[in-house]
Structure formats: structure tokens, C-alpha cells
A and B are shown apart, each in its own frame.
Chain A
Amino acid sequence: MANTSRLYLTCIRNTLEAAMCLQNFPCQEVERHNKPEVELKTSPELLLNPVLICRNEAEKCLIDSSINSLRISLKVKQADELENILTKKFLRFLSMRAEAFQVLRRKPVQGYDISFLVTNYHCEEMQKHKLIDFIVQFMEDIDKEISELKLSVNTRGRLVATEFLKQFI
């Protein structure tokens, strides 16, 4: 399980290293505007082919690239209903605080749980390899956090149930 995860993350890292070659490119349609082309999609010549990396049916990563911006959308694995609500709650919590993350999108792309938008300005302010490290680390941390949360909720439930039933004894 750990091996497949390692391969999946390595594939994403290599793809990001290749895709994160961004440069400043003012908007071709509106004067003095500078917009992330990957979001607008008005000029097909500025867009690269999207890359979809799937670990399995439930886990995948979509990387949309353009001349001045890159969008990374993630679908996190959710084994049961409890993981489903924990993932939704946690990722929504992070998305609402997107300004703290700078590269996080407030709303995920349809069909995915969370999305990042990296522009050429981010690449100028931050180091490219560290940005990629952050995204890969983020994916690992999300999985780990969801598993820990689920375990904690079940442990709490078990302790509370024990205390409740002990009152009858």
C-alpha cells in the first residue's frame, strides 16, 4: 500500500516539475490585464494538455497547465461515510482559509475535493522545488490527518460508550 502511494506521489512530483515552467504573460484580450490562462481557457494556444494521474478509481490528480498558471486538483480517497464527512469538512475548512495558503483555490474543481492554483507570481516569490514539496507533502498530510481523525472519533465513541454502560453496572 505504501509502495503504490510512493509511486503515485513520485509521478505527481515529476509531472509538476515538468509542468511548473511558468512565465509572465499578459492577457491577450484585455489590455493591461494579467489573468491566469488556465482558468479562463480563452486562448487554446496558451494551454497545455491536461494530465490525469489515477492511483485507483477513488484517488486521482488532475494537472492543468498553461503559459502563466498551473492548476492541480486532487480527489482524496474516502473508504466509508465517516471518512467522507471528515474529508469534506476538513477540505472545506482549508478552502475557506485559502488566503493563508496563497496557492489554494477557494472552490475545488467539479469532481474533485481540493484544488491549487499556482501562477507565475507564486513561482517568483517562492522556490519552485519547495512549492512542489509542499503540494506533495500536503497530499500525504491530508491522508494521514483523515485517518487519525477517524481513529480519534472511533476511540472517543468507544470510551463514551464504555462510560455510559458502566453506569448500569
Chain B
Amino acid sequence: MACFERASPALKEILLKIYRAERPAEFDHQMHEFGSVQYHVKCSASDPHQTYLSISMPLLSQGLQFTTRLPNHTLDMVKGICPDVVEIIEPPKDGYQLTLRLNFARIPHGKVSTKIITEISSVQAVILSSQLKEMLRNVDSQEISQGMYKAIKLIYHPGEPFYVIKQPAKITAVFPMRFKENTDVIIATAFFQELVVVGSTGACAKAPHCIWSPIPPPELRGEPIEDLSTNGGFVSFDITSRHVEGKKLDKTVWNLLNFYTFVKYHVKSTRGFIHRRMRMRLGNLIEILQNAGIEEEQIKTKVQGFKYVRKLARFSKPKIVKRRCNFSKKLKRIRSRLKIHGYKLISYLLSSYYVTSQATY
């Protein structure tokens, strides 16, 4: 699924196309992606090795509002993406928050080139996760800083905000869950309950502690009611220092950002699974009913013997009765076929004549 991958598939395809182009060509392409992300890719024929990539996207904490400039820690993280190839241009292009100059001449040939271009295509994921990474980096800080215990609202997808609350020795991420249909709510609730149970078992004891509750947790007291009205309850994850050590920080941030998408994908797959099973069962049930009506085939296979008897036995019960009725009707017709006026009298006279002639002899 595209939304689970960090690299934007469309951007990757465009950059690969430019990189692999045999002849230098003019290229000016704008595109939009989910999450209100805008890209602008420009390449000129006079300077084929330099490609300019501009990005505009709302940051997590501002919802759908766009800022003119990215925070410094975000720019530092972007600089870390292939420093040989990528260079940040200041100031960025008009209407965009970040402009990068990509030097394709410095990309080595072979399989490595695809890997580098994939990393460049994941710049949106880097920008989005930078803010949450910065928050989670200081998870073990015992200092009571401004903003501790206060819920910070982050929006990755429009209409799906989640909250991060800083507490001593841990950070809690709270996800208010909303679904359009009642079926989705029930399937998702069953999943959340399993999540809580599995999280407390031995296998996943080291994973973040997970809680599901149908009512808003006390940490979200004071938040607007429209953000707290849900039909799927609230899922909370407690992130500790163990989950943000080294390379785990990147994974933890990406998993939290994609939690909504993950749940929706699971609900959709479960519905498809239920539908497939129902179709399979339908076939089995129909087969049972069809056997209730199949008599001819059964008799055909079982009966052996005289040809005429076999033919007779091949017919089903109602057909046999019908044949008998037809046969009796036929007989009646045969008997009454020669019914002519006065026939009875003639036949009586003839029969009496024969009787008297026999008596004479």
C-alpha cells in the first residue's frame, strides 16, 4: 500500500524517469498527493544534471495551515538525505516551503541509484516525522518543561487528529477513532481489544503499553468537544525511552503516524475476508438443496436390469404417476373409440345370436 511506504511512488517514478532519460529534455511537472502535499519537479535541457524539487505541505501541529518556512530541526533532517546529491536552495520557490537541487551526476550507476532516488522521494515522510521525532527524542527528560501534561494536537490526515501528551518518563499518544459505518466500529473495537490483550502478553511485553477506552482519557480534558466525539473510542500508546533508542525512533514515529491508516486497512481486509467466506458457504448450502431434487441421476446410477424396466425406473415419481394417468386415459379412449349409435344394441344382438347358435350345436 502506498500510504505505508515512506517514498512517494509518483515522485519516485518521475525522478527515475528523469534520471534514466537518454536525451536531456525540458520537464516541468506539478502534482498533488494525499495529505495536502504539493510537489513541483523542474528540469531543463540546458542543464540536464540539475533537477529542482519543491515541496509544500502542512506540518503536523498546524493542521491544514501552511507555514512559509520549515523549522530548523526539520531542515537539518532533510540535509541528512543523501548530502552528496541533495542541496537545499534558499529561499524556496514561491508558494513552496522547501526547494531542493538534485545533482543526478553524483548518483552512482547501478542498483544504488534506485535506492538513492527512493530516499529522495521519501522527503515528505522525513519532514512529517521530524516534528514527532523531536518530541519523542526528549521522552526521558525529567525536567518539567512548558507544555508538559498539555495535549498537543497533531494532524497527519485531514479530519484525523491525534494527541501527544508529555509526561515524566513517557509520552502518551492518544488516537480518537471515528468510523463511517457501524460494522467498521464493531470490527475495529474487536481489534483494539485484541491489541490490549496482546500488548500485555509475554511476546509483546516490550512494545508500548496500549489502552483502549470508549470515553476520552483524563489527559484530554479541556479539548474541544468536536475532537472528542467519537464512535470507536480512544486508543492510547505509552512511548518510553526504550522505544526511541537509535533506529527504533524512526520506526516508532512512522508506526504512530500511520496508525489510522493501518486500522482502516485491517477493517477493509476483514470485511473482504468475511465476504469471501460467505460466498464459499453459499456454494456448500446450495449443493445440499440440489441433492434434495436430484432423483433421476441417483436412480440412473443404481438401477440395472431389463432395458424396459430401466427405462421405466429412470423417471421420477411425479412423472411415473403422470404416465399412469395418461395410460389410463389412453385405455379409456381406446375402449370408447368405437362408440357408435346403436353399437351396443348390435353387439348385444350379435352376442345373443352366438349364444343361441352354440346352444343349437
Query: Which residues of A pack against B, CB within 8 Å?
Result: 81-82, 84-86, 89-90, 93-94, 97, 100-103, 124-127, 130-131, 133-134, 137-138, 141, 145, 148-149, 152-154, 156-158, 160-162, 164-169
- The complex places the Cα of A160 from the Cα of B251 at a distance, in Å, of 17
* Shortest distance from the beta carbon of A92 to any chain B beta carbon, whole Å: 10
- Residue in B closest to A138 when the chains form the complex, CB atoms: B285
Interface size of B by CB at 8 A reads 45
Evaluate contact between A134 and B292: CB separation under 8 angstroms.
yes
Q: Chain A interface mostly helix, strand, loop or mixed?
A: helix
Chain A CB within 10 A, most for which of B190, B206, B210, B295: B190
Question: Which one of B190, B273, B285 contacts A82 once the chains associate, using CB atoms below 8 Å?
Answer: B190
- The complex places the Cα of A127 from the Cα of B289 at a distance, in Å, of 10
Scan B250-269; emit 1 where CB is below 8 A from any A CB, else 0: 01100100000010001001
B85 cross-chain contacts in A, Cβ below 8 A: none
- The complex places the Cα of A137 from the Cα of B288 at a distance, in Å, of 9
- Residue in B closest to A160 when the chains form the complex, CB atoms: B266
Q: Could you tell me which residues of chain B, from 186 to 208, have a CB within 8 Å of some CB in chain A? A: 186-187, 189-191, 193-195, 197-199, 203-204, 206-208
- Residue in B closest to A131 when the chains form the complex, CB atoms: B292
**Apart from A165-B195, A165-B207, A166-B207, what are 5 other A-B pairs with CB-CB below 8 Å?**
A81-B186, A90-B281, A97-B282, A165-B204, A168-B208
Q: Does B20 sit within 8 A of A, measured CB to CB?
A: no
B189 cross-chain contacts in A, Cβ below 8 A: 81
A153 cross-chain contacts in B, Cβ below 8 A: 187, 190, 270, 273-274
Of the A-B pairs whose beta carbons lie under 8 Å apart in the complex, a sample of 10, sorted by A's number, is: A94-B285, A97-B282, A126-B292, A127-B292, A134-B288, A134-B292, A149-B277, A153-B270, A157-B194, A166-B207
- The complex places the Cα of A134 from the Cα of B285 at a distance, in Å, of 9
A94-B282, A153-B274, A156-B273 known; A168+B255 contact, CB < 8 A: yes
- Residue in B closest to A103 when the chains form the complex, CB atoms: B289
Chain B CB within 10 A, most for which of A84, A97, A154, A157: A157
- Residue in A closest to B295 when the chains form the complex, CB atoms: A127
Q: Chain B interface mostly helix, strand, loop or mixed?
A: helix
A93 cross-chain contacts in B, Cβ below 8 A: 275, 278, 282
- Residue in A closest to B279 when the chains form the complex, CB atoms: A93
A82-B186, A100-B286, A137-B288 known; A90+B204 contact, CB < 8 A: no
Evaluate contact between A168 and B286: CB separation under 8 angstroms.
no
* Shortest distance from the beta carbon of A159 to any chain B beta carbon, whole Å: 9
Scan B276-308; emit 1 where CB is below 8 A from any A CB, else 0: 011001101110110111010000000000000
Evaluate contact between A85 and B207: CB separation under 8 angstroms.
no
Q: Does B318 sit within 8 A of A, measured CB to CB?
A: yes
B204 cross-chain contacts in A, Cβ below 8 A: 162, 165-166, 169
Evaluate contact between B277 and A165: CB separation under 8 angstroms.
no
- The complex places the Cα of A94 from the Cα of B283 at a distance, in Å, of 11
- The complex places the Cα of A153 from the Cα of B285 at a distance, in Å, of 22
Evaluate contact between A85 and B183: CB separation under 8 angstroms.
yes
Scan B83-97; emit 1 where CB is below 8 A from any A CB, else 0: 000000000000000
* Shortest distance from the beta carbon of B328 to any chain A beta carbon, whole Å: 20
- The complex places the Cα of A158 from the Cα of B292 at a distance, in Å, of 41
Q: Does B72 sit within 8 A of A, measured CB to CB?
A: no
* Shortest distance from the beta carbon of A107 to any chain B beta carbon, whole Å: 18
